[in-house]
Chain A
């Protein structure tokens, strides 16, 4: 904490923090307030008498209703959930095993293989979608959820692998050695000892992977074309921006509803998540 006079604490701690919070949270506030304002308020000219951009006097659920009744928003929500969960699951399984192998098994080229996996994560998606689109077309997966479930792991697996590698390295190797002396095979030692101890790491990798695939935009935009197949980020932007007309109310309502599941996931696992990032294992 800041030492000394009270004003120092205000100047060097509370005020910078308040500024920071306003800067961070204002877009969310804007999103929320826009979602509940009637069109009559949203499109009122700035020089009218009762112009008030930061507050609403007549909150309405009209935009939410519009989303669910006039668009395929519920489809998009379901698609996003299914795709995000499936690709997260695939990536976690691969990432946990790969991370374990790279950090614990001494095989030739383990180090360079680890670096190689990391490098694939650095290839920008904006380049990778071109060859991937070709493959999706050849396997006739275009416009199905599988086009995303199978392509998201291209960036999720390297990510999970690296996170898990770091976590497994932090677990004392004596735990595993002890289990092996106790009568467990390498496989059982991993299953009964190492993976349960690594749960916080696995959870944080899972949450990250889920968020990344939930928010993903480019692949979803390229690989999905029919409205009922789309995910929330793509559906909202492509169906609610028509030409140069922005349907601000439903757009913001869609963004709000789309960010709630991620927020819930984060707050639910926040404790595990933090301990996963700081990598603390106490014997």
Chain B
């Protein structure tokens, strides 16, 4: 079992309010990812769950037991740190066995569990080595091994992949996912990388300035972001934003600014009608733009001027100027576009996002 509940959790550092009223229920066996820019309070929240930071107010409970005043050793959790924190003077075996020795397991049980973990992580050949004799990826595995031998109720990961090079990071990401599927232990994972968050998490918690912005499954965050921050943070390249004025003319709703004159599709029109005559923020993901063809209704297209062409092979990223705004469009790699070309782009009408310009909340 490993159910973690955070109830109105706050953290103050002197006068700085680092974590504000976080409420969250992490279900047993769930993989929850905290994501956000640096300084958003995600690591602090994780450290409070671990017992490494004192909770200023609110409760954290694990399996129904409030753990606010429980020292880290009694919470039955395991943590993997960003810099691995391997004990430099101990062999890989002793690193993994340390937690079991502290908990007075007998020698045979320790050997069995370490070998089991070494098997899972494929580090059986390095058990006698010291951490400094290992590569970054191997150290990462040892750090994972040290966590899994304990069979804890909850795994806590503090940006465990950010010290690895890009290729290894992708590889370890997949392995972490497999490991979680195999062990089924509840996991709380902190990262600033939205790709890690999207790929690993059963649910993702987006934080900014100590406040939880949205909690949801990865696709939920992608498809219906709760506010402009989440919309801009999730997805790569980031969503394009443009401030437009909603115009209501003979029953047709249009979104206009210096470079855009878009018809608002029927599916959005209902909830936007109240904003007629006011400014709202329009959000379009780069992948929901394409070069317009005959079949695109004129109301869903707009003119633009190409400023930069980025060839990625699988797609082309066009940095274009639309009126006074710049946008990025991810278009078909077969498109021949050159800098300074005037092209017409079309939107995917079902995939538009609108945000209140003042509150930044989704409309």
- A133 in the interface (beta carbon within 8 A): no
Stretch in B72-80, B165-173, B224-232 touching the partner: B72-80
Contact flag A175-B87 (CB < 8 Å), given A183-B102, A184-B102, A282-B132: yes
B79 near A181 (CB under 8 angstroms)?
A: yes
- The one of B50, B77, B83, B99 that contacts A283, using a Cβ cutoff of 8 Å: B83
Evaluate contact between A180 and B73: CB separation under 8 angstroms.
yes
Q: How far is the CB of B69 from chain A (nearest CB, A)?
A: 15
Q: Which of A177, A188, A281 is close to B88, meaning CB atoms less than 8 Å apart?
A: A281
Is A172 a contact partner of B99 (Cβ separation < 8 A)?
A: no
Q: Are A181 and B78 in contact (CB under 8 A)?
A: yes
- Chain B 45-68, CB-CB to A under 8 Å as 1, else 0, gives 000001110000000000000000
Q: Are A178 and B79 in contact (CB under 8 A)?
A: yes
- Most-contacted residue by chain B among A179, A182, A196, A283 (CB, 10 A): A182
Q: A181-B78, A283-B88 are in contact. Are A172 and B83 (CB under 8 A)?
A: yes
Inter-chain contacts of A193 with B (CB < 8 A): 87
**Any chain A CB within 8 A of the CB of B103?**
yes
The A-B contact count (CB < 8 A) is 72
Chain B 231-267: CB-based contact to A (< 8 A → 1; otherwise 0): 0000000000000000000000000000000000000
User: Given contacts A181-B72, A183-B103, are A283 and B79 in contact (CB under 8 A)?
Assistant: no
B9 to chain A, nearest CB (A): 19
Cβ distance B82 to chain A, nearest Cβ, rounded Å = 8
Residues of chain B lying within 8 A (CB to CB) of residue A259: none
Set of chain A residues within 8 Å of B103, measured between Cβ atoms: 183
The one of A174, A188, A197 in contact with B81, judged by C-beta atoms closer than 8 angstroms, is: A174
Bound Cα distance A177, B132 (Å): 20
Q: Does B71 contact A (CB under 8 A)?
A: yes
Kindly list chain B residues whose C-beta atoms are within 8 Å of the C-beta of A177.
Answer: 50, 52, 72, 79, 81, 85
Give the shortest distance, in Å, between A68 (CB) and chain B (any CB): 43
- Between A and B, 12 residue pairs with Cβ closer than 8 Å are A172-B85, A174-B85, A177-B85, A178-B79, A179-B102, A180-B73, A181-B51, A181-B52, A183-B99, A183-B103, A184-B73, A283-B139
Cβ of B146 within 8 Å of any chain A Cβ, yes or no, is: yes
A177-B52, A196-B89, A282-B132 known; A182-B84 Cβ under 8 A: no
Interface membership of B150, Cβ < 8 A: yes
Q: Name the distance in Å between B200's Cβ and chain A's nearest Cβ.
A: 21
Task: Report the bound CA distance from A47 to B241 in whole Å.
Answer: 99
Q: Which residues of A contact B98 (CB under 8 A)?
A: 179, 182, 184, 192
Rounded to whole Å, the gap between the CB of B14 and the closest CB of chain A is 12
Enumerate chain B residues within 8 angstroms of A56, measured Cβ to Cβ: none
Q: Does A115 contact B (CB under 8 A)?
A: no
Chain A residues packing against B (C-beta within 8 Å): 172, 174-175, 177-185, 188, 192-193, 196-197, 199, 281-283
Closest residue on chain B to residue A176 by CB atoms: B85
Q: Top 6 A-B pairs ranked by shortest CB distance?
A: A183-B102, A182-B99, A174-B85, A178-B85, A181-B72, A174-B81
How far is A282 from B85 in the complex, measured between Cα atoms in Å?
A: 10
A282 CA to B51 CA, complexed, in Å: 26
Contacts of B78 in A (CB 8 A): 181-182
Query: Residue B84 contacts which of A183, A184, A185, A283 (CB distance < 8 angstroms)?
Result: A283
A283 touches B73 (CB 8 A): no
Quick check: A174 and B83 within 8 Å, CB to CB?
A: yes
Residues A182 and B73 in contact, CB atoms below 8 Å apart: yes
Contact with A along B119-149 (1 / 0, CB 8 A): 0000000000001100000010000001000
Q: Is the CB of A283 within 8 A of B146?
A: no
| B86 CB within 8 Å of chain A | yes
Q: Tell me how far the C-beta of A106 lies from the nearest C-beta in chain B, rounded to whole angstroms.
A: 11
Chain A residue contacts of B89, Cβ below 8 A: 196-197, 199
Q: How far is the CB of A207 from chain B (nearest CB, A)?
A: 20
Knowing A182-B98, A183-B99, A183-B102, say if A282 contacts B79 (CB, 8 Å): no
* Complex Cα gap A193–B98 (Å): 10
